[in-house]
Amino acid sequence: MNEMKQLLLDRIENKTAVVAVIGLGYVGLPLAVEKAKAGYRTIGFDVQKEKVDMVNKGKNYIGDVVDRDLEEIVKAGMLSATSDFSIVSGADFIAICVPTPLDDYKQPDISYVENSTVEISKYLQPGTIVVLESTTYPGTTEELLLPILEEGSGLKCGVDFYLAFSPERVDPGNLLYKTKNTPKVVGGVGKDATEIAAAMYRSVLEGEIFEASSPRVAEMEKILENTYRNINIGLANEMAIICNKMGIDIWEVIEAAKTKPYGFQAFYPGPGLGGHCIPLDPYYLSWKAREYDYHTQLIETSGIINDAMPGYVIERCSHILNRFKKPLNGSKILILGVAYKQDIDDYRESPALKVIENFNSFGAEVEFFDPFIREYRYKGEVFIGLSALSAEIIHEKDLVVVTTAHTNVDYEWIQKNSKYIFDTKNAMKNVIVRDNIEKL
């Protein structure tokens, strides 16, 4: 074993390694907190001064982080934050946890990863390991990061520094699996990088650490995880459309299918896909596959189905309103929930925002209420929701549309005070009186 590798492994084992986390969002802050709680001096970097200031004050802004944990590790000096990239010069382990969105043409926007890597390369020191956690297309670590780091630092990967990919697995609002206990996959550029990265994660996390043979395998497995869900949700959505035409309850169909103890996993329809992974990740693969003269037909088809669901919701709502001789134009609509999933305050890629946009385009008068989200920003505009619901507010609406199945909403009360409800999430499944409820 070479001296540089052994020194880094020793620092990981005796907790003297310094950790830098680039990006303090939904992935980066929970990771930084876990590193610090495990006994590593951790420095977080973010370009947003507000986040840096909040972390340094011990104030939490991420639902999956325990307020007291953050406060204690900041007070103990184990975690601090900065906007100064030069801090990575003193780090032994650098994790990149920045956004990887799609652009307007649904092509990967790797600019955050690229810019972060360029900055890291200016301060990269021998004996450091860099790990990319941001979800991306297969090949990013070796084709993009590796040459940038080598050219910017003058160092050689595998000789002077180590490089690996370990995809984030963050599920906001999940009460069972958090960063701490979720299994992790690691794939390094060379066996030494994989071993070192795995050693660090094993010293911090409780979940199993799977060592992949390369970054490309680790990158592809992350895409597979979310493409699997994307395609199966697309199937559920298409089944919902077919079942509606045939007068069959898709929700009962799924409950019946769930009784099979093997060969079936339940996925549910809804107003579309949301979040930072499922709606985006398949497009990374579709884009990369074209380089190999291959079109991902199944993946692209599921994307078409899922992307069309907000429009389908409007179509169904227009049919409901027509029964009451009401056009979309001028109808009063209440949207219940703008978060992309239940019981969280995250509205990234939420289909509810597109549903609202579509209603507005038809001239409907739309208001929203979400117990977790008071306002949201969409396409440069800020939309402010109702601070509370009243019987009068609900009753004056021509239609209530449930787009998020928050569990802290009194759906029986909603039903009693609504003229009519379109429930896209089966959130009202336990409501007994159903004569004014229609499900997706």
**Active site amino acids:** 277
- Residue 333: enclosing H or E segment and its boundaries? strand 332-336
- Residue 409's CB is within 10 A of a number of other CB atoms, namely 20
Residues 6+ apart with CB under 8 A from 205: 34, 179, 180, 181, 182, 184
Nearest partner of 283 among 97, 145, 105, judged by Cα: 105
d(CA 242, CA 237): 9
Nearest partner of 402 among 378, 419, 418, 426, judged by Cα: 426
User: What is the separation, in whole angstroms, between the first and last Cα of the chain?
Assistant: 60
Residue 365 CB burial class (10 angstroms; 0-12, 13-18, ≥19): middle
d(CA 50, CA 69): 19
Please check whether residue 337 is in contact with residue 374, taking contact to mean a CB–CB distance below 8 angstroms. no
Gyration radius of the chain over CA positions:
24
Nearest partner of 155 among 124, 134, 129, 183, judged by Cα: 124
Q: Look at residue 425 and give its three-state secondary structure.
A: coil
Nearest partner of 353 among 364, 365, 368, judged by Cα: 368
